Structure 1
Amino acid sequence: MKTEGGSDGAKRRAGERAAEDVEDGFVVGLGTGSTTAHAIRALGRAVDDGLEIRGIPTSFQSRRLALEVGIPLTDLDAVDGVDLAIDGADQVVDDPEGGSHGALIKGGGAAHAREKLIDAAADRFVVVADPSKLADRLERPVPVEVLPDARPVVAERLREMGGEPTLRDAERKDGPVVTDNGNLVFDCAFGAIDDPDALAARLSRIPGIVEHGLFVGLADATYVGSADGVSVRRY
């Protein structure tokens, strides 16, 4: 499931603003998606100008782009920690008065398992987005990565929870999307999600689910690009 909306200029401003937070010597988590790609390109230009960093990509897509722009890469098991993770989102709760402010849905690129691992390991996790991704509450279908053999059992459990799971099909080949981990993805519609934390906990308890796309309590800030600049939401 791809996410649409938002001008390329707004995405570029958000991505480039996040790249400005990267300091010499940082280990940086490199997220997946069109907005994060602008951050990766900006970091590549900074590396050309002498910035010394190491990147940890969250997907084949982000790894390929990072190599293309000259960012040295490493792995989680080769570093002491991640200083900053930069990643996009499919939807972000923008409600300072509510209890879910800053909760995310991710997984439009089917990389959410590795994204969550690296984002959670980072000292600081910054989301880059355009205004089309902001919402009062989460309501997009939640991507759920599942072991292939667990597909029918997980689908039944999701329906028992009130969800409507749809196996994600590939766009340019017959058959389903296969993640970098060799698994399948359900996009599960729950309607408006009033309590993302509770739903995340329930999903995590289902055997066969590798990871889900609800990111709750992980983001430290969201940089929202627009036609005339970048606004910052801090959590």
Structure 2
Amino acid sequence: MSDAKSLKRKAAEAAFAELDEGLNIGIGTGSTAEEFVRVLAEHVEADFEMTGVTTSERTETLCRELGVPTKTLDEIPILDVTVDGADEIDGDLRLIKGGGGALLREKIVAFSSAKMIVIADASKKVETLGAFPLPIEVNGFGLMSTFMAIRRVAETLDLTGDIVLRKNGDQPFITDGGHLILDASFGRIPDPEALSAALRSIPGIVEHGLFIKLASVAILASEDGIERLEA
């Protein structure tokens, strides 16, 4: 197991240790969340009872392959906890998410949960969000108009940097919801709350990857052990 994968595994195991049996659990998307699915699967095989609600078709497929029981969010609209990764996390537990392309469903599931546990390796902790490009899920209709509106609101907040359409090979990347993603390389986002509010004012934006006041706990794994942060 690679060092990076080993750290993701440690974070996933630490998150599982905080869970009680019988919970309805939101399950995130991405390589760290997939390690959590593998940890869950091992315990489910040993008769641990839980029901998962997945945030992407990719995660749903993995759960089915490994025998982790799932239902839809419509079947279980209120969840006990969500466990998910992050692309960046700051000291106030504000996140950038969406590198895996599932930010809309991830945010819906997190919002539907009483608690969100973020799992990551310690390298994802930053002083200021923004080094990781901010994913912005957009409607395909009026793409250029939406792009220009994002550029305008970014400039009002003194944010610069490339905003590019995410691709899957030569074709645009399409989310599970049928949308596109623009990745905004702002470098630094000194006021995530202001940017979040500004982006929400643009009709063509479906959702953005700033997760604010959603995470309750962060579990960060490093070679020195586990760091646990609470909101």
Fold equivalence (TM over 0.5): yes
CA-based RMSD of the aligned residues comes to 1.5
Whole-angstrom distance in 2 between the partners of 1:176 and 1:126 = 31
Which digits, 9 at most, give the CA deviation of each residue in 1:100-125, with x for residues without a partner? x1100000001000000001111110
Whole-angstrom distance in 1 between the partners of 2:149 and 2:185 = 13
Whole-angstrom distance in 1 between the partners of 2:66 and 2:33 = 14
| 8 Å Cα contact 1:6/1:130 also seen in 2 | no
Equivalent residue for 1:97? none
Q: How many residues align structurally?
A: 223
Q: Shift of the alpha carbon at 1:80?
A: 5.1
Equivalent residue for 1:129? 120
Equivalent residue for 2:65? 68
Equivalent residue letter for 2:178: G
TM-score by length of 1: 0.91
| 8 Å Cα contact 1:58/1:114 also seen in 2 | yes
Equivalent residue for 1:176? 172
Equivalent residue letter for 1:174: D
| 8 Å Cα contact 1:9/1:226 also seen in 2 | no
Q: Unmatched 5+ residue regions in structure 2?
A: none
Whole-angstrom distance in 1 between the partners of 2:224 and 2:35 = 17
Matching residue within 168, 193, 198 for 1:197:
193
Whole-angstrom distance in 1 between the partners of 2:106 and 2:3 = 22
Seq. identity, %: 38
| 8 Å Cα contact 1:31/1:58 also seen in 2 | yes
**Cα distance change of structure 1 residues 6 and 156 upon mapping to structure 2, 3 Å threshold:** farther
Equivalent residue for 1:115? 106
Equivalent residue letter for 1:143: P
Moved more, 74-83 or 112-121: 74-83
Q: Unmatched 5+ residue regions in structure 1?
A: 95-100
Equivalent residue for 1:85? 82
Q: Does residue 134 of structure 2 align to residue 148 of structure 1? A: no
Indicate the SS of the match to 1:66. helix
Equivalent residue for 1:98? none
Whole-angstrom distance in 2 between the partners of 1:68 and 1:159 = 42
Q: Does residue 46 of structure 2 align to residue 54 of structure 1? A: no
Q: Shift of the alpha carbon at 1:6?
A: 6.9
Equivalent residue for 2:204? 208
Runs of 4+ in structure 1 displaced over 2 angstroms? Answer: 161-164
Whole-angstrom distance in 2 between the partners of 1:13 and 1:191 = 29
Equivalent residue for 2:219? 223
**Cα distance change of structure 1 residues 179 and 80 upon mapping to structure 2, 3 Å threshold:** closer
Equivalent residue letter for 1:132: S
Whole-angstrom distance in 2 between the partners of 1:57 and 1:79 = 11
Whole-angstrom distance in 2 between the partners of 1:182 and 1:229 = 40
TM-score by length of 2: 0.92
